[in-house]
Structure 1
Amino acid sequence: MSSQIMDKSESGGCGCKIPSTMLSKILSQTAKANTVQNKKVALGFESSDDCAVYDIGEKYLLFTTDFFSPIVNDPYVFGQLAASNAVSDIFASGGIPLIANSIMAFDPEVVSAEQVSQMILGAQSVMNKLNVSIVGGHTIKNSQPLYGFSIIGEVEKPRLKKNNTAVAGDLLVMTRPIGVGIIANALKSGLIDQEDIGSSTLVKIVGDNSIGRVLSETNGVSSLTDITGFGLIGHISEMVGLGNLDAELNTDALPFYEGTESIAVSVTSPDSGVFSNIKKYAQYVDYQTDLPLAKKFLLHDPQTNGGLLFTVSPESYEASRQEWGLLCPDLTVIGKIEKGTGKIRIY
């Protein structure tokens, strides 16, 4: 017996992440148990970055894993999202994805073979476009459908980008609107159907972040990450998390997916990832204006396959703006980085 795959999802997409406060507590208690010191590990847990980085000589090997439960009922679209989201971490590090192993779980009495096939075909369409070979995987029975990938990629050493290396004076730039979590909640609550999502919006939601590879060519791009389950504020906090920088965020410039501001409050429940993110990152946020509740929710909205967030010198941005804009029409300057104490000042 088959059913709508999203109906079996308790919380969809990157909104199904363990609350960041709990995750931080777990890692603080277990980090010391990892006593293996491998000098070729160039980047691991220490900065909550997008990929593990391993030195293989002239290049770095990149490794990441990402999987989640459905945010849509269309299994083909779910597969596209799972693939694009997984390879995003490689692009957010400036690299090229090479090979992938799939991670899948579902209840065979609820999810049909045809639905699973459509999930795989959706993911394969993305991997084919990006020239990524799916070389294996692992599938288990589970009451909640899950799908994703572990990805191996590579990057030339000068092109590696990290999430916490922003420079005072940089611009803060986004490549895609936010509000995917709000849309997912509206779908799950029945407020909207997938047919209500405009085709241009759906193309962006399932799109890839391969522009990260282009951004890595520019030395003036000082830090780079993708916006996922911890929301825009959470990922900005990683950029200023070392404590000697502040971010100024212009909410009037923020691009939101169409219609999300009008439904954000009505579809956000107290047990959602939005409230978890608000609690986690409250210490970093300094509101300089009375922000509507809908916008506040969107700032903390967990994104599934969200766009990229990067910092870049004004000179480099101006020199590359036209080229980048052709590749990424939604490219938007949303603020700037200044010397400070690790705060996000919201205007």
Structure 2
Amino acid sequence: MSTFCQIMDKSESGGCGCKIPSSVLSRILSETAAANTVADDKVVLGFESSDDCAVYDNGDNYLLFTTDYFSPIVNDPYVFGQLAASNAVSDVFASGGYPLIANSIMAFDPELVPVEQVTQMILGAQSVMNKFNVSIVGGHTIKNSQPLYGFSIIGQVEKNRLKKNNTAKAGDVLVMTRPLGVGILASALKAGILEQADIAPPTLALITGDNEFGRTLSASPEVSSLTDITGFGLIGHISEMVGLGQLDVMLDSAALAFYDGAESLAVAVTSSESGVFANIRKYAQHVEYLGELSLAHKFLLHDPQTNGGLLFTVSEACLAENRQAWQSLCPDLMVIGRVTDGAGKIKVC
């Protein structure tokens, strides 16, 4: 077993599954928001909507700002670097923009993690940043008992292409671009039930892939809301879309796709201390099950995704017009539900 595997084994959770539960985060923010007395009318989006990026009016365009970092989700430092970079730039694409520059955030114990493995983390991340011409211009590194890696990103978007996560419209269809189950597979890797070699190359390519497709979606005004699915799971991110309480989502569970093996592993690797249960505790009040659903399937609805796919709402006519072109760029695109008038419920049918 490599040193990196040993470090991963010691971590309680990895990837976006290591996020502070949203219920705890909401309480902290509610108790500290009043301390921010700086009023800046150029800040278009901040904490208020839990959106993917902060947005700053820069004149002709908006600047986008986001920060993402986490502990290992895989045993391979190069793949960990790819995931860290793809996950960070995803927030910019989910806001409809494109990344410009990045600062790295890194932590590791130099007595436990060899320099060669840290180098592989950086090279994996650089392979992603190079694809989008993103310059890594600086960063900060500290000593820590387990590796942490990620980035703060500055991006840009034209004002007419900014997408938000809570502006869905009744009558829109709900579309997802990638299967679910990253958190379940990561838990199986950590438990030794699954080896990274058992994950098929096409699956690994999807898990480490990018969400540049969000930039394509931002060109259409009929795409009413857009986000990426990360640590709060599918249900959590849908709940953000209907968070104002005036909409419902009819979620077609049969239309969902899962990574190979995720459904069969879900119950075996999910503990009460997991990110799955943290999400269930936070979002169960928003969910109404209209039929029988297996426990594994329910877990996957709440599974924390690391570098998950995009989730967006769009008019049915726009989807019909663009589906062939969009599917050529994003073959896994799937319609998973519909937005209706309502009271903030996710009705799973």
TM-score computed with the length of structure 1 as normaliser: 0.99
* Residue 54 of structure 2 is aligned to residue 52 of structure 1: yes
Counterpart in the other structure of 1:83: 85
2:161 is the counterpart of 1:159: yes
Deviations 1:189-246 (A, max 9, x none): 0001000000000000000000000000011100000000000000000000001000
Corresponding pairs, count? 347
Is contact 1:2–1:109 with CA below 8 Å preserved after alignment? no
Q: Which amino acid aligns with 1:184?
A: A
Matches for 1:261-300 after TM superposition, within 5 Å: 261-300=263-302
The alpha carbon displacement at 1:8 in A equals 3.5
**Which amino acid is 2:55 matched to?**
V
- Per the TM alignment, residue 3 of structure 1 is displaced from its structure 2 partner at its CA by 4.3
Structure 1 counterpart of 2:261 = 259
Q: How much does 1:9 deviate?
A: 2.2
Q: Which of 99, 117, 120 lines up with 1:118 in the alignment?
A: 120
The amino acid of 2:43's aligned partner reads V
1:24-173 matched pairs, under 5 angstroms: 24-173=26-175
Mapping 1:188-267, distance limit 5 Å: 188-267=190-269
Question: How far apart, in 2, do the equivalents of 1:2 and 1:206 lie?
Answer: 22
- Post-superposition Cα deviations, 1:245-268, rounded to whole Å, max 9, x if no partner, equal 000100000011011111100000
- Structure 1 runs not aligned, ≥5 long: none
Contact 1:8 1:143 survives alignment (8 Å): no
| Structure 1 Cα separation of the partners of residues 245 and 15 of structure 2 | 30
Select 1:346's aligned residue among 342, 345, 348. Answer: 348
CA distance in 2, matches of 1:26, 1:46: 13
Aligned residues of 2:70 and 2:148 also touching (Cα < 8 A):
yes
| Aligned partner (choices 183, 190, 196) of residue 185 of structure 2 | 183
Query: Aligned with 2:267: secondary structure?
Result: coil
Work out the CA distance in 1 between the residues paired with 2:149 and 2:261.
28
Amino acid at match of 2:183: G
**TM-score, normalised by the number of residues in structure 2:** 0.98
Contact 2:188/2:194, CA 8 A, preserved across alignment: yes
List 4+ stretches of structure 1 deviating above 3 A: none
Contact 1:10 1:144 in 2 (8 A): no
Inter-partner Cα distance in structure 2 for 1:120 and 1:3: 14
Structure-2 change in CA distance of 1:34 and 1:201 (3 Å): same
Structure 2: 5+ residue stretches without partners: none
Query: Match for 1:326 among 328, 342, 345?
Result: 328
Partner of 1:304: 306
Identical-residue share of aligned pairs (%): 74
Tell me the secondary structure at the aligned position of residue 78 of structure 2. helix
Contact 2:4 2:77 in 1 (8 A): no
Amino acid at match of 1:272: S
How far off its partner does 1:2 sit?
A: 3.8
Q: Is the 8 A contact 1:8 1:145 kept in 2?
A: no
Letter in 1 for 2:48: E
- 3-state DSSP of counterpart to 2:203: helix
Query: Is the 2:107–2:147 contact (alpha carbons within 8 Å) kept by the matching residues of 1?
Result: yes
**1:78 deviation in Å?**
0.1
Aligned-partner Cα distance in 1 for 2:33–2:274: 27
